[in-house]
Structures are given as structure tokens and as C-alpha cells.
Structure 1
Amino acid sequence: MLQRLTLLLTGLLLLISCEGTIAQSSGPAIPFNKLTYQIDSIQKVEKIPGLQVLVFTKDSLLYQRNAGLRNLKTKAPVTAQTLFPVASVTKSMVAVAALMLVQQGKLSLTDEVKKLAPEIEFHNPWEATDPVRVAHLLEHTAGFDDWSMKAYAYNSPTITLQEGLTIAPQSRQSRWRPGTFMAYSNADPPVVARIIEKKTGQEFESFVRQRIFTPLGMNRATFHRDGAALTDLASGYTDNGQKEAPYWYLLARPTGGLNVSALELMPFVQMLMGRGSFRGQPLLSPALVDRMETPSTTLAARAGSKQGYGLNNFTTSYQGHLLHGHDGASIGLRAHYLYQSALNRGIIVLVNTDGPGFSKLKDAVLKLVMQNVPPQRPPVYRLSKAEKENWIGYYRPSNFRQAATGWFLGLTQLVHVEEEGNNLVLYDGLGSQPLQSIGPNQVLRLDSRGYTPELTLVHNDSNEPVLVRSFGAGLMANTATKTSFLGAWLPVLLGHLSVLILALCLIMGIVWLIRGVWLQRKGRRLSVLPVRIGLFVYALSYLVMVISLNEGGDELGVVSPLSITVFTASLLGPLAALMAFFNLTRNYRQLSSRTERIFMLIAVGFALLVVGYMGVWGLVGMRTWL
């Protein structure tokens, strides 16, 4: 008896120590020991406090790794029961809930939003001919701006979805014709969730729990900080995994409020892998799962692209294999699920830090899961000379996720396509990458990490060529509009010169101050003093403004010392530049030095250029709390 008990305990200890490998299945072998080593190495090097990693098929769990701490202060470990806020992964729940109503005949993806919810404020200049439809909201092709700083800063545990939609509605403005280009926006999913509430007579969270969570056994998942989230929720960490972030009560929970463990998120992904069924129980028809995974409403999709953003479900490509999933990003937290139904492989990665370790971790997991799967790239298409000429040239980013970021991204994310040795090569902020043509208007970008994202060439309403990249949820624009060499580089050149002149004005301002004091002691006065003061104040104001915007966070979304500083600086800078200009025109002859005359003319000219540019982008008198 004692011997049997010893053997049993030994077996249990071995099982615990080998937590990484749960089960094997048919298909290419996955080196789980190597995966555990890489996960642990990345966690240590990147200082990831805690993590959950799963690898699974549609029927079984193949690999599980729970490591680190869910809370650094209490030293509570991450276990299989630990819940993580998964942020925008929540959006996939909105899509499935909407498709359930489509399946029942209660909703259509082509329904016009204005007719379904006339009380929800939004503005679409093309509404008469191209109304915003449900599919546009789920594919983020309505042209809506992303949430404002006020919306991001909102933090209330009791707000209802209906109330949340009345706050900061200015984000819901179509900036281009709906159904042309995709730009990720947190303003879209809550509108669909509200339509679901109206159609069902249920609170969105209640409907999801009844129709999705319960059938899938997601019993501890919650949209609120309640239940299991009170005792087993992972805390998020910023500043290289050291500073604990407060819990974020979102303005609209359907856009990113879900708290769930990897083990309970897995059945949801397995249901999608099973083409709408989980353990023999159908939740969606296979056709609707196909539609969820398929981008359909963009110009790129109509041009034949299979990659991009479907119904709150992105499609990407690794070595030519199309994969589907979604990411989530919150303060101090990152989440990721990805699956390939034909290969019968799915992965989930959850971490409680927002550092670079997340990207390295999910890339490492995918690489090992796919390492024995043969590449499946489409055949090479031989471009004609004329077709190559259509691609070659310079492109400036357009159709920004957040309109307010365009002033910066438009100067820093140029794209250039050129021919090298009969092949096309793309140059952007990531360096140079070879392109494989798969059609006259489609290419694959051969990423060194193994990814093969697609680029599609389309034309906008002005008949300008537009390069559409497969989906990226970051601030980077997914589209870039073709321009001339001068159109590409002149703004960049002027932008860099403006920064250089601004820096010189700061330095010279200090020099002028010292020199002015020295001259005053000698009974003399520095010439054109108002011009010098104006240039120094202009430069200092914009420096303070940029630093404040970069460091701001939620303080920018409310009336605070920081948001008032941004507002004041954004007004003071233009006023100081104008003061410098008017005083220079009146007192130009007082400058005896030719060098100073040239510098003052250049400095004032560039100051006015910066002020005009900021004015065009609406950055003069910025009230970030609106």
C-alpha cells in the first residue's frame, strides 16, 4: 500500500513538473520542451510579471504554461484559474453575438445603423448614398475616428452602455466613404452592442453570458470587476513590469471589458475552429464563422484580398497560411488569440505587462507551433512592366486610426516601393523587405519573422493609388496614398528642418538671455528683443506641449494641470510666433549683422510654417478633455 502511494505521489509530482505538455495529437510534432524554455527565457529577460500560454486543437489542450505572479505586491502566483483583462479580445464576443441574431433572422449585416438606432449620434456625409451599416461597424470601415482622450480617460464601474454612447460622440464621424478603408476604432463595437440590446431586450453582458459563456463553460468570465475577478484577477504593470496600473473601468465594456482566463477563453476559440460548434453543440453556422473571418466591405477586399480585418476578427498570414484571431491591449496588459482551423492549431497568450516582451512571446509561440508545417505561399505572379510601374513610387500614410495623430505619422511613416533585380522591394520604418507578387494588384511582404502580410493596390474616390496593408491595430495607418518624390520628401524635409530650427531657438534663447543681461550691465540693450523673446517662447511652448502629450495618459482626457498645460502651450506657441513675425517686420533694420538677419528670417518663417501646419491639424488651442 505504501509503495503504491509512493508511486502515485511520484506520478503527480512528475505531472506537475511537466505542466507544459498536456496531450499530443495527430499532425506535425510541436517541440514543447523547447517552447517552455523559450517562454521562461523571454519572461526572465523581458521582466514579464506573469503569463498564461496555451496551445490546443479544436478538441483538446496540447500545452499549458502558467508562470510568474499575478500581483507583485502580494506575491500571488499566476495559476490556471487566474483571470486577465483581455481588452479588445472582447470585440470578438460582440461579433459572435451579432451573428447569432443574424442566424435567427433578427438582424442583417447590411442593416442601416441610422434606422436601427436613430438615437445614437454619428455623422456620415455620405449617408444618403452610402449609409453606415452593421457590417461597417464590425469591420471598422465606417470611417469613424478612434476614441477621444476624454473617452479613454473615462473610468466608471456603474455606467451603462446607453449612457456611455452619449459621452464624446464626436469620434463617430465618417472621415471617408463607409465601406472603403478600414481604420481600427473603439467607437464602433459599442454601437453594435447597443443594437443587440435593443433587438433582444437584454443587457449586452447578460445576452453574452446566456448565449456564449454558459454553452462554452466560461462560468468565471466577467465584464465587471466582480465574482472571480475580485479574488483571482491579474494586475497590470507598466514601466518595464514594475509599476502597478489601476483597473480600467471602460466607457463601454463591449469594446474591451472582458476578464477571463486562458483556459476559459480557449472554448470560445475552439468553437470558431470547429466552424461554430463546440463539443457537438452548434452556436453558429459554418457560413457565419466564414463570414466573421472574411474582410468584405473594403476596397481591398473587393479587389480580392483575403487578409485584413473581418467581423472583429483579423486575418493574417504566416508562411502563406491564413490565420485568424484578435489582440487586446490595455494599460499594463496584453492578450492574443490565434488559430488555423485546417491545421487544427490554436494559441492563446496573456501577459500582465505592456512591454515589448509580449510581441516576442507570441512570435516565439507561433514560430514553434508552425515550425514543422510546410510553407503554403501562393504562386508567384509575374508582373508586366506596366504593372510594376503601378507599384513603384512613394506613398504617404493616410486614413489614420486617430485623426489627431496624422500630423506626426504623416511625417514619419513614408513607404517607398522600388524595383531591385526584377523584384519589388518595400522600404518603410521597418527597413527593407522583399515583396512577392501574387497578382497584378497584390503582393506578399516577406517578413524575416515568418509572417507574410499582404499589400493590395486600390484607388480611392479621387482615383489616387492607395497601398492597403493587412490589419495592424496600432496607431500606424493601414493605408498609404501614392505621391510624388517631392510630395513625399518635402514635408519630411521641412518637418526635420522645423525641429532643428525650433531646437536652435531654444538654445539661442538661453544665449540671448545671458547676452541681454551682460549688455544691460553695460547700459546697452539687445536689438529686436521682442523678436528674440517671441522665438524663444514659441519654441519652449511647443517643447512643453509635445512632452506633455507624450507623458499625459488619462490626465489629458480630463481637466487637469497637464491638459491645461497642453491647451496653454498650444495657444502660446502660435501667439509668440506671430509676435515674433510682426516685430521682425517693424524692426528688421535694427539688425546690423547679416547673419542674424538671415537666421531671424529663417526662424520666423519656419515658426509660421509650424503654426500653420498645427492649425490645419486642429492642434492650436487643443482641449484634450473634450
Structure 2
Amino acid sequence: MPTWVISWLTPLLLWTVWFNATAQPADLSLPAHQLSRQIDSIQKVHKIPGLQVLVFTKDSLLYQRYAGFRNSKAKTPVTAQTLFPVASITKSLVAVAALMLVQEGKLTLSDEVEKLAPEIQIDNPWQATAPVRIAHLLEHTAGFDDWSFKAYAYNNPRVSLPEGIRLNPESRHCRWQPGTFMAYSNAGAPVVARLIEKKTKQEFESFVRQRIFLPLGMQHATFHQNGAALTDLATGYVGADQQEAAYWHLLARPSGGLNVSALELMPFVQMLMGRGAFRGQQLLAPALVDRLETPRTSLASQAGCQQGYGLGTFVTAYQGHLLHGHDGAGKGFRAHYLYHAGLDRGIIFLINTDGPSFFALRDAILQRVMQSVPPHLPPAYAFSKAQKEAWLGYYRPGYFRTAKTGWFLGLTELAHVEEERGQLMLYDGLGSEPTPLRPISPQQVLRLEKRGYTPSLTLVHDETNRPVLVRAFGAGLSANALIKTSLLGAWLPVVLGPLCLLLIVLCVLLGIGWLVGGIWRQRQGRRSSAVLVRTSLLVYGLSYLTMVLVLAGGGDELGVRSLPSLLVFAGSLLGPLAALSALISLLRSYQQIASRSSLIFMIMAVSSALLVVGYMGVWGLIGFQTWA
């Protein structure tokens, strides 16, 4: 057997041995009292209005906690029956529903979407050689953009699935070849749900109720604000001041419209833990549950990565153990389910607020549930010198979840892999602490994080042969992949970005001073120099500063014609015009500027303004209509 084959197979065989070993059940003791105290402490510190927490096996409930209020104003307590919007957890149900049709021979995961639903507009430049398939939609590897501001702002309870799909065609643009890189998108699940409707001749929600809700006893689960969701639905709260959030009627409910209690979601998770079986019913074949949990359609998965996004589920790696599940984030809600079939443990927690409380709660529950389980890291792999050097260097974000956020992330995110005393270390973010890396194959390492998480990094090459560092899903939601770059390519944007922002702020502050001083000098009968340059720089600074601040604030107002969205639009037009005006005025009047320091500043400010305008133009942010 050739040497290169042996070197490739060895880490794969070691990984297989390790993975099978982790599938052996363990004797887990659950410290219920300690867990309750920790949950209560987190709820108090983070001011979580209400929560539901369950820990269970595939056959029984081990722990349950219902605390706080589903409505803080009315002081209505959270009970076992309280429904929570669980947002993107809905995608797991879409995947299971699709696999049920695969099981019946009505669909295959390799089916081309265009052939099944030619009426659904998909812009795929690679259609002839790499068509979008069902598996790509469920694994988020079609290259689709995420929903636009307009789609997120949509709030109509009567919208049908075909209409919701038709209203948001811009997200279904393949930004790279399908089947290469994963980028989370809410645009894929509705298309799969529509394919289910076409094959079954019934509405998706009706199919889910008949084939999933009823067999699992999820009698109160609903996709609408009706039934139990009218009488016992938790109210969401947003922001540090815990403002009440209105119910969100999604543009396409298969992306995240499910309302359910933790107690009724539990049978769904138990069915997955039981490899498709629940109380004597075999809803899904074990092989299909395995496929649900396994990413296969990305370059990272083809390189052996198991910590990606499968079919409507993703992996959370904790001390080497791979837990499957999904989370959800809505307006004023967070939700998560996790399970490990081999250890026979499942977790569900739902809260009616957003923010860092979600992560604190997740960390605490996982730590308590897994504390009696010894770490089970895969065997370390010894890098050759060439293999190690392939990892070293700087990486900038690429393959963004949302195309329009790339301009910002490209200026603020930077990763660096270096060797320190024989140990590979990752600096993931400016000013971040180093994280040790454990090689497990030539193309994979594990991050050994202090909190116990062990997410993977996979090194692959894109179509232009650039090295790309792929994060485990969840470790880089906005940009799941990082593209290797040079030292100059790494630091130039990081330095120029803040410098240009500083000059924008100075243009505003000094511009106001220039304006006031100019008025005063005019009253004194004195003339100011370079008035048009100064005024243009003030308008430029105000335009882009307003645009950035409004975009940072977010909100549904950006998805419709409103004051915030019009301010962004106006700023994206006035900024370039003012920068051009400043350049022309400076060229005409620079000899009249007596102060050398003023001239130097104006040259710097105009140069940075032109750089900013060019950068925004590359990202399509001139004349930016957030509501379009």
C-alpha cells in the first residue's frame, strides 16, 4: 500500500475507534440540587424572566425546572405547559420530515431542487456542474445569503409558505459553488418544506402535525399564535432593560416558527436518541438518524470533520464528546436542545429573553450533566514540519452568513495560528487569549477551551487553492470560514479601519468647530479658508457616522421604509458625494490654506474618505436600501 494512503488512513481509523468508544453508555449521576442552585443564581444575576430546563434519557425524565414568569408584568408563572417560541429548532423538524419522505422513496437528498420546483427562483452560476440539492439546503451549503432586513421585518400571520418564499428571492443567490462551504441561512428550510408540500399534497404544518406531533404526543405544539399559544405562551423580553417583544410572525415558518414547551419537545429529542424509535414506534430508520447527525456536503466534512452542520442539527463538542442538537434565537427568546445517544443524556432549556444569559445557562447545565463523564479526546496526531507550517499564519473572515455584513467583519475579525514552545496556539480575535490546539489529523485540530468545549478547526483549500480554516459550527456563526492571508493582508484592514473611523469622528467634531468658527469670523468681517472642503468633510463624516450607528442599532425599522432605513440610504449616497466634493474643493483651494497642520489633516481626511467610499462601493453599500 502506498505511503500516502497509509498516512491518510491512520488518522481516519484512529478517529473511528475514538468515535465508537464515545458511543458506550456511561453511568451518569446528576447533581440535581447543585444544578437547581446554579440555575437560580444565573436567573437572578442575568434577570431571566422565565425558563424551562429538562434533563432526560431516551426513556425517562431525570430533572425538570420551571421558574420565573412567562409574563413579568402579569406575574404569570412559567409552568410545564408554557409554550416558548423555539425559533431555528424548527429546522430539525423540517429535516426529519424530509427524511421521512426519503424513507418512503418519495425524495432523495441528492434530488436537484430546480427539477422538483422550477417555479422557485434560485440564482446559481454553477447550475450546470453543481446544482443545488436538498442536502445542500438542509446542511446550509448551497451558498445562500441569509434573510434580508426586509425578510426579518416581515410580520404577517396569514402569509402562506409559497408566498413567503416568493417574497424573498434575493437570499437564494449562490455566492459560491454549492457543496463547498457552510454558511447559515434561513432561506433553505422553507424551500425543503415546500418540496414536502408538493410531494405530499398537503401543507407542511399539517404533515408535521400528522407525522411528528401526533405520534410523539406533542398535542399543544403549534406554528401559529393560536390554541395553547393564545393562553399559555411566554412573552419575550429584549435588551438590558427587558422590554416586551411583540410576537413574531415569520416570513416563512419552517425557518423558525415553532411554539412548544420543553416537555413536549422532549419526545422529539428522545426519538432521535432512540435512533428513530419512540415508545415502540419506529418513525425513522436508524441509518437516517445517523445521516441527520452527519455533515457530508462541505469541503470540511469531506476532509473528515464531524463537527459541522448535519441535516437540521449541529454538533456541540464538550471534552471530546459530540452532542447533537440545535439552538434557536428569536425576538426575546433563546432555546437549545442537546443530546448524546451513546451516553443516553438529553438536555432542553428555553428562556424568554436574549443576551449572554443563554450561554451562562448552557455552560452550567452542560458542566453539571457531564461532570461525571471523563474527557474522551481523540488521539493526538503528530504533525510533520510541513503539515505544521501549513497551519501557521493569519486568517481573515470569509464566506459570510450575510453578504452585507462582510464589510464590517472584514475590519474587526482576525485569527492567528502560531507555535509557542512546540504547542500550536490560536488567537481568535483581536486581543484574545491564546487557545491550545490539539492536532487529530493532518487537516484537523481541536480547540481546547477553558470552559470544556472542544470545537474543531479544519484546514481545506477553496477553488483558487487558498487555504481556508473552517470553524466548527457555532464557533463562528457570522463567518464560519477564515481565509489565510499575508501579514500585510491581515493587519492593513485592521489598522486602516479604525484609523478611517477616527478620521470620520474628527471630521464631525472639527467640522462643527469649523462651522461655528466660520460664522464667528464672518461676523468679524474675516474670511475662512477652504470653507467648501471643511463643509464637505463635515457632511461626509455625519453621513457615514449616522449610517454606521443606525446599522449597529439594527431593528425591524431597517426592513421597511422608515426614518432609520432612510437615514442609512441618505448617508450611503451623501457620503460618497461629499467625499468627491471635498476632493475637488481641496484640489482647487489647497494653496489658500495657510495652516500647514490644517492642510495635512485635510489631505489625510480626504484620502481616507476616498478609501472608505471605495471600500463601501466594493461591498455594494452605495445607495444601500435596507428595505429592498
**TM-score of the aligned structures, taking structure 1 as reference length:** 0.95
Once residues 615 and 239 of structure 1 are traced to their aligned partners in structure 2, the CA distance between those partners, rounded to angstroms, is 33
User: Using the alignment, how far apart are the partners of 1:68 and 1:549 within structure 2?
Assistant: 33
In the alignment, does 2:183 pair up with 1:183? yes
1:547 aligns with 2:549: yes
Match of 2:19 in 1: none
Q: What does residue 7 of structure 1 align with? A: none
Q: Is the contact between residue 249 and residue 257 of structure 2 (CA under 8 Å) also seen in structure 1?
A: yes
Structure 1 partner of 2:7: none
Partner Cα distance (1:285, 1:431) in 2: 44
Q: Secondary structure at the match of 2:166?
A: coil
Could you tell me which residue of structure 1 aligns to residue 102 of structure 2? 102
Kept in 2, the 8 Å contact 1:155–1:248? The answer is: yes
Instruction: Tell me whether 464-473 or 576-585 shows the greater mean CA deviation.
Output: 464-473
1:569 paired residue number: 571
Q: Which amino acid aligns with 1:517?
A: I
CA distance, structure 2, for counterparts of residue 143 and residue 365 of structure 1: 34
Q: Is 2:145–2:174's contact at 8 Å kept on the other side of the alignment?
A: yes
Paired amino acid for 1:331: K
- Give the aligned partner of residue 522 of structure 1: 524
Pair 1:88–1:241, CA change in 2 (3 A): farther
- Alignment partner of 2:400: what SS? coil
Q: How much does 1:514 deviate?
A: 2.3
**How far apart are residue 475 of structure 1 and its match?**
4.7
The superposition leaves residues 518-551 of structure 1 with CA deviations (integer Å, 9 ceiling, x where unpaired) of 2112211110100000001100111111111122
TM-score where L is the length of structure 2: 0.95
**3-state SS, counterpart of residue 615 of structure 2:** helix
Structure 2 residue identity aligned to 1:410? G
For residues 414-472 of structure 1, give each alpha carbon's deviation from its aligned partner in whole angstroms, at most 9, with x where no partner exists. 11000011110000124311100111110000111100000000000000000000002
**Matching residue of 1:50:** 50
Q: What does residue 256 of structure 1 align with?
A: 256
Describe the SS at the equivalent of 2:572. Answer: helix
- Tell me how far apart the structure 2 counterparts of residues 264 and 350 of structure 1 sit (CA, whole Å): 12
**Contact 2:54/2:64 (CA < 8 Å) preserved in 1?**
yes
Please state if 1:171 is matched with 2:175.
no
CA spacing shift, 1:597–1:295, aligned 2, 3 Å: same
Render the CA deviation track for 1:370-401: whole Å, top value 9, x for unaligned. Answer: 00101000011111111110000001100000
The C-alpha deviation readout for 1:458-504, integer Å capped at 9, x for no partner, is 00000000000000287521100000000110111111110111111
Equivalence for 1:472: 474
**CA–CA distance in 1 between the matches of 2:199 and 2:37?**
49
Q: Does residue 434 of the first structure (1) align with residue 458 of the second (2)? A: no
Conservation of the 8 A alpha-carbon contact between 1:139 and 1:295: yes
The CA RMSD over aligned residues, in Å, is 1.1
* Amino acid paired to 1:486: L
Q: 1:252-295 CA deviation, whole Å, 9 max, x = no partner?
A: 00000000000000000000000000012100000000000000
Tell whether the 8 Å contact from 2:102 to 2:108 is kept in structure 1 after alignment. Answer: yes
How far off its partner does 1:605 sit?
Answer: 0.3
Q: What is the aligned residue count?
A: 602
Three-state SS of the structure 2 residue aligned to 1:309 is coil
1:315 Cα deviation (Å)? 1.3
Whole-Å Cα distance in 1 between the matches of residues 612 and 63 of structure 2? 55
Q: Quick check: 1:182–1:478 contact (8 Å CA) kept in 2?
A: yes
State the 1:41 CA deviation: 0.3
Instruction: Pick which of 428-437 and 101-110 moved more.
Output: 428-437
Paired residues of 1:47 and 1:240 also in contact (CA < 8 A): no
Judge conservation of contact 2:507–2:538 (CA < 8 Å) in 1: yes
For 2:547, give the aligned amino acid.
M
- For the residues of structure 2 that align with 1:554 and 1:518, how far apart are their CA atoms? 43
Q: Secondary structure at the residue paired with 1:335?
A: strand
**Residue 241 of structure 1: how far off its partner (Å):** 5.9
Alignment of 1:375 with 2:375, yes or no, is yes
Q: In 2 relative to 1, CA 35–455 (structure 1 residues): closer, same or farther, beyond 3 Å?
A: same
Shift of 1:411: 1.2
**Secondary structure of 2:434's partner?**
strand
Query: What residue in structure 1 maps to residue 558 of structure 2?
Result: 556
Residue 494 in structure 1 maps to residue 519 in structure 2:
no
CA contact 1:47–1:241 (8 Å) conserved in 2 = no
Instruction: Tell whether the 8 Å contact from 2:417 to 2:426 is kept in structure 1 after alignment.
Output: yes
Q: 1:26 & 1:545 partners in 2: Cα distance?
A: 54
Aligned residues of 1:269 and 1:346 also touching (Cα < 8 A): yes
Which position in structure 1 is the counterpart of 2:278?
A: 278
| 1:414 match | 414
2:148 equivalent in structure 1 = 148
CA contact (8 A) 1:70 1:76 kept: yes
1:319 & 1:469 partners in 2: Cα distance?
17
What is the SS of the residue equivalent to 1:123?
coil
**Which residue of 2 is the match for residue 537 of structure 1?**
539
Report how far residue 200 of structure 1 moved.
Answer: 0.2
Q: Is the 8 A contact 1:308 1:316 kept in 2?
A: no
- The share of aligned pairs that are identical, in percent, is 69
User: Contact 1:240–1:353 (CA<8 Å) still a contact in 2?
Assistant: no
Task: Give the match's secondary structure for 1:468.
Answer: strand
1:92 and 1:311 in contact (8 A); partners too: yes
Q: Distance in 1 between matches of 2:341 and 2:359?
A: 23
* Match of residue 600 from structure 1: 602
The residue number in structure 1 matching 2:506 is 504
Larger displacement relative to structure 2 (515-524 or 57-66): 515-524
1:585-605 CA-to-partner distances (Å, cap 9, x unmatched) read 111111112211111111100
1:377-416 pair list within 5 angstroms:
377-416=377-416
Q: Tell me how far apart the structure 1 counterparts of residues 492 and 32 of structure 2 sit (CA, whole Å).
A: 52
Partner in structure 1 of residue 234 of structure 2: 234
State the secondary structure of the residue aligned to 1:382: coil
2:219 alignment counterpart: 219
Match of 1:18 in 2: none
**1:272 alignment partner, SS class:** helix
Relative distance call for 1:473 and 1:456 in structure 2 (3 A) is closer
Q: C-alpha distance in 2, partners of 1:240/1:44?
A: 14
CA contact (8 A) 1:460 1:466 kept: yes
> What residue is the counterpart of 1:247 in the other structure?
247
Give 1:414's aligned amino acid. Answer: L
Query: For the Cα contact (< 8 Å) 2:455–2:475, is it kept in 1?
Result: no
CA contact (8 A) 1:89 1:327 kept: yes
Question: Aligned partners of 1:283 and 1:114: how far apart in 2?
Answer: 29
Contact 1:48 1:241 in 2 (8 A): no
One-letter identity of the residue aligned with 1:234 = A
Distance in 2, matches of 1:384 and 1:550, equals: 45
- Deviation string 1:186-217 (CA, Å, 9 cap, x unpaired) is 00100000000000001000000000000000
Tell me how far apart the structure 2 counterparts of residues 431 and 133 of structure 1 sit (CA, whole Å). 40
Rounded Cα–Cα distance in structure 1 between residues aligned with 2:439 and 2:135: 30
More displaced, 570-579 or 283-292? 570-579
User: Given residue 88 of structure 1, which amino acid in structure 2 is its aligned partner?
Assistant: S
Match of 1:8 in 2: none
What letter corresponds to residue 529 of structure 1 in structure 2? V
Residue 134 of structure 1: aligned partner:
134
Q: Supply the distance in 2 between the matched residues of 1:270 and 1:308 (Cα, whole angstroms).
A: 22
Instruction: Tell whether the 8 Å contact from 2:26 to 2:343 is kept in structure 1 after alignment.
Output: no
CA separation in 2, counterparts of 1:45 and 1:316? 25
Matching residue of 1:17: none
Superposed CA deviations along residues 72-117 of structure 1, whole A, max 9, x for unmatched, are 1211100000000000000000000000000000000000000000
| Amino acid in structure 1 at the alignment position of 2:568 | V
Q: Distance in 2 between matches of 1:43 and 1:404?
A: 35
Letter in structure 2 aligned against 1:527:
S
CA distance in 2, matches of 1:444, 1:380: 10
Structure 1 CA distance for aligned equivalents of residues 402 and 483 of structure 2:
17
| Residue identity in the other structure for 1:404 | K
CA distance in 2, matches of 1:396, 1:572: 30
